[in-house]
Structure 1
């Protein structure tokens, strides 16, 4: 009986520890504005949007969202929008100034509308960088979408062709997989998928064949990652 009581006590303490780890210090928008005001320095804006067709944003409008930091601070009711081209999370101050979050490396995630936008490390060749990604599904392996926007320079008039203004051109999302806390890796081929899920390679290969999973098909990738996380 004593053994059972001890086991229950350990389980309760473990559960309490998990809840404690997930607790955030909740703060309001004013605290967020003040902290960024002190840290921001010069706002870096690669291109102005004047006279450029298209949009560099995931959503043109600011949406009240929530910012979570790795220091377990939660800021509520922040007007946010994600600038895909600059890879910056922008916010609007009470006096309508548009700024970028001063220290993006401390941001764990931002919840903007229906999107959870995480700031995570990812691999480019042999280098590790950080950036914002849209979380699609999570578990031992997380799946992310990386939105892409390309800037196209203006084109001068040519024989039989009118001039074209500069514009932002939306590109297809790229997709990344992340195992636990490791850097996310880009998925570009079925071979990438097989190599990533090497511990259950046969099962994953069967699932890919049966469900016609392709690296560029978001819904199929979500199904695959959910299946893998269930194994």
Structure 2
């Protein structure tokens, strides 16, 4: 009997999880990927070709190959079956359908969420040099407080040959991810220093400070940052 109750409990949890997923998706008008071309045209005013640099080493992309996914808009439209990739350097979500040129999603402020492969992106506000900007972030932990990661890379110009040194081609170099925390509707804040871990949370200061010290949370440790955000969301 006990085993039966455990089985029924697991089944119920799976059912409610599936129902929640269905409810989320049913809030959107689902359209085929090809209709994204028209959506993009209407928001950008034009379809421009994507420029590539064949002589640059490295890659500006999180994933070089396109991965099929979905695009959710703020007007509650979901475009399904869209081949997607993220351009780290340009901070753009790109897509390509058939023989059409590669395009970046136009008017990203109309994009609520992008999902493909293991990634879920949000286009969110964040603070940068005391100014509020917007960009794409990968969701690592979602709740009242949300943990984002943001892939990083730099571009180095080509170097001419010099004495005892060969020429060096231009290249993209990957750098460690940056982590941001967003609480409620406030702009996301970069976790650059230890003090940022406490300053980002508007309340429960003592509990947060104690958790950070006890668990030795660092601003570049993704797993510990997840635990910190989970802890705050549980208070």
> Would you say same fold, with TM above 0.5?
yes
- Equivalent residue for 1:218? 222
3-state SS, counterpart of residue 199 of structure 1: coil
C-alpha distance 21-127 of structure 1, shift in aligned 2 (>3 A): farther
Moved more, 139-148 or 95-104: 95-104
C-alpha distance 168-39 of structure 1, shift in aligned 2 (>3 A): same
Point out where structure 2 has 5 or more consecutive residues left out of the alignment.
Answer: 1-22
Determine the C-alpha separation between the residues in 2 that align with 1:42 and 1:184. Answer: 31
Determine the C-alpha separation between the residues in 1 that align with 2:35 and 2:131. Answer: 35
Determine the C-alpha separation between the residues in 2 that align with 1:228 and 1:25. Answer: 34
1:37 to partner: Cα distance = 3.0
Moved more, 197-206 or 34-43: 34-43
1:206 corresponds, among 205, 210, 230, to 210
1:142 to partner: Cα distance = 0.4
- Equivalent residue for 1:71? 75
2:184 corresponds, among 180, 183, 208, to 180
Return the TM-score normalized by structure 1. 0.86
Aligned length: 212
Aligned partners of 1:81 and 1:91 also within 8 Å: yes
- Equivalent residue for 1:165? 169
Determine the C-alpha separation between the residues in 2 that align with 1:219 and 1:49. Answer: 36
Asked if 1:58 is matched to 2:58, the reply is: no
Determine the C-alpha separation between the residues in 1 that align with 2:186 and 2:25. Answer: 20
- Equivalent residue for 1:116? 120
3-state SS, counterpart of residue 144 of structure 1: strand
RMSD: 1.8
Moved more, 183-192 or 79-88: 183-192
1:86 to partner: Cα distance = 0.7
Determine the C-alpha separation between the residues in 1 that align with 2:32 and 2:204. Answer: 45
Determine the C-alpha separation between the residues in 2 that align with 1:73 and 1:164. Answer: 46
1:100 corresponds, among 95, 100, 104, to 104
Determine the C-alpha separation between the residues in 2 that align with 1:205 and 1:39. Answer: 45
Return the TM-score normalized by structure 2. 0.85
Determine the C-alpha separation between the residues in 1 that align with 2:62 and 2:72. Answer: 19
3-state SS, counterpart of residue 174 of structure 1: strand
Aligned partners of 1:43 and 1:100 also within 8 Å: no
Asked if 1:192 is matched to 2:193, the reply is: no
